[in-house]
Amino acid sequence: MSGNSIGRLFCVTSFGESHGPAIGCVVDGCPPGLTLAAADIQAELDRRKPGTSRHVTQRREPDAVEILSGVFEGVTTGTSIALLIRNQDQRSQDYGNIAERFRPGHADYTYWQKYGVRDHRGGGRASARETAVRVAAGAIARKWLRERFGIVIRGYMAQLGEVPVPFESWDEVGRNPFFAPNAGIVPELERYMDELRKSGDSIGARINVVASGVPVGWGEPVYERLDADLASAMMGINAVKGVEIGSGFACVTQRGTEHSDELTPAGFLTNHAGGVLGGISTGQDILVSMAIKPTSSIRLDRRSIDKSGAAVVVNTHGRHDPCVGIRATPIAEAMMAIVLMDHALRHRAQCADVVTTTPRIAGLAPDGRQQPPSPRD
């Protein structure tokens, strides 16, 4: 494989370019018997799709998904599931002027030097449009994880540029275009984005994702640890430049007495580990945070070179997100789901017969009550 697949047992193989005929994927390894309809996937795609507010790209893509295989009479059959999303709004002319030059911060130069050929229309394969595929595949994983284990995966914007977004409530996340878990801060975010858009510049963001209800024991011990696979999945999202599990970089200045989470019969007292110890889930919430760089496509002048190596000036007037982090939350959730589902299958492959009499503890909720246990695992 050449980098278009993710997962060993729940394996997603992606295809498609921003302005080609279609994008899509093949999802292999899904257990049979899961009820699945296009509407299940569409609901997730609609959360990510462009054009839903003035703060994101105005490209109009219905992102209508078609299930081509692997589902019969509304139920997965255990064979490979192909998902197809036709591209609709392909104004290739927007991109003609960048065919011969390399946009700073984009993959134009690296693709060209690697492959000697590239589909330059809208970034081609390197476009963030490919992330729709991840969301579609992730929708299958999160449905299975929820129905089989009661796992809930939720993300939110934790910071927009210089503006921290304090967590208040999961309920708010779906009520604003930023995925902000805080109603009071939305006006400030809107002002921030309106000013930014006028300036022609772009900005970064921080996204957090939490998986609740993951049983203890998922993950591998040395190289394909749960945290390593999560780091790979998140760093593999377009524009991500940093990933943290649990305390993340804050652990540099932590003492062992602070960082290592104590266990009690009622549960873990803290969750600096972020729900992973030795590469294996603890039963606590899985906590991941990531940094998303500012959009590289801006309409301000930037120095660059063209294919002949000559100096040029580039600015980009297409329809772009001034902060790609705004639409990143559903993508990060989807990647979390794909990784967890893969490890769910891997775990039971090797350890289906394991039983211990040791009670399974989880984390403690902020008010001291133990988190609700998974319905079954």
Binding to a copy of itself (CB under 8 A) within 37-76 occurs at 66, 68-70, 72, 75-76
Task: State which residue, 50 or 122, has the beta carbon closest to a copy of itself.
Answer: 122
Binding a copy of itself by CB under 8 A: which of 51, 62, 78, 318? 78
Task: State which residue, 110 or 175, has the beta carbon closest to a copy of itself.
Answer: 110
Task: State which residue, 164 or 171, has the beta carbon closest to a copy of itself.
Answer: 164
Binding a copy of itself by CB under 8 A: which of 274, 286, 336, 363? 274
Binding a copy of itself by CB under 8 A: which of 61, 63, 172, 244? 244
Q: Is 16 left (phi over 0), alpha (psi -120 to 50) or beta?
A: left
**Residues in region 173-202 near a copy of itself by CB under 8 A:** 201-202
Within 10 Å of residue 117's Cβ, how many Cβ atoms? 8
The owner of tokens 């062992």 is 256
Does residue 219 belong to the site contacting a copy of itself (CB under 8 A)?
yes
Per-residue tokens: 135? 């969301």
Cα–Cα dist 62/51, whole Å:
9
Binding a copy of itself by CB under 8 A: which of 148, 177, 190, 373? 148
Task: State which residue, 125 or 154, has the beta carbon closest to a copy of itself.
Answer: 125
Q: How far is CA 261 from CA 54, 70, 213, 364, in A?
A: 43, 43, 18, 11
The number of angstroms, rounded, from the C-alpha of 149 to the middle of its chain's C-alpha atoms is: 21
Residue 152 CB, nearest approach to a copy of itself (Å): 20
Task: Read off the amino acid at residue 11.
Answer: C
**With contact defined as beta carbons under 8 Å apart, do 125 and 3 qualify?**
no
Does residue 291 belong to the site contacting a copy of itself (CB under 8 A)?
yes
Residue 296 CB, nearest approach to a copy of itself (Å): 4
Binding a copy of itself by CB under 8 A: which of 90, 97, 260, 370? 260
**Residues in region 293-332 near a copy of itself by CB under 8 A:** 293-298, 300, 302-305, 307-311
Task: State which residue, 45 or 292, has the beta carbon closest to a copy of itself.
Answer: 292
Crossing angle for the helix pair 38-48 and 131-149, nearest 10 degrees?
Answer: 120
Task: State which residue, 175 or 351, has the beta carbon closest to a copy of itself.
Answer: 351
Binding a copy of itself by CB under 8 A: which of 259, 319, 370, 371? 259
Binding a copy of itself by CB under 8 A: which of 14, 208, 212, 271? 14
Which range binds a copy of itself by CB under 8 A, 52-60, 90-98, 177-185, 266-274? 266-274
Does residue 231 belong to the site contacting a copy of itself (CB under 8 A)?
yes
Binding a copy of itself by CB under 8 A: which of 39, 198, 256, 367? 256
**Residues in region 103-122 near a copy of itself by CB under 8 A:** 104-107, 109-119
Residue 372 CB, nearest approach to a copy of itself (Å): 18
User: Which residues are paired to 175 by β-bridges?
Assistant: none
| Of 330, 55, 332, 49, the residue nearest 188 (C-alpha) | 55
**With contact defined as beta carbons under 8 Å apart, do 313 and 301 qualify?**
yes
Does residue 16 belong to the site contacting a copy of itself (CB under 8 A)?
yes
Residue 18 CB, nearest approach to a copy of itself (Å): 10
Cα–Cα dist 281/256, whole Å:
20
| Of 346, 345, 341, the residue nearest 221 (C-alpha) | 346
Binding a copy of itself by CB under 8 A: which of 9, 38, 64, 186? 9
Binding a copy of itself by CB under 8 A: which of 4, 53, 370, 371? 4
In the 8-state DSSP scheme, what is residue 286?
Answer: E
DSSP assignment of 118-144, as one string? Answer: ---GGGGGGSGGGHHHHHHHHHHHHHH
Sequence-separated (6 or more) residues with CB below 8 Å from residue 367: none
Cα–Cα dist 35/71, whole Å:
8
The owner of tokens 């100096």 is 311
Per-residue tokens: 373? 């246990």
Task: State which residue, 171 or 358, has the beta carbon closest to a copy of itself.
Answer: 358
Binding a copy of itself by CB under 8 A: which of 95, 102, 156, 179? 102
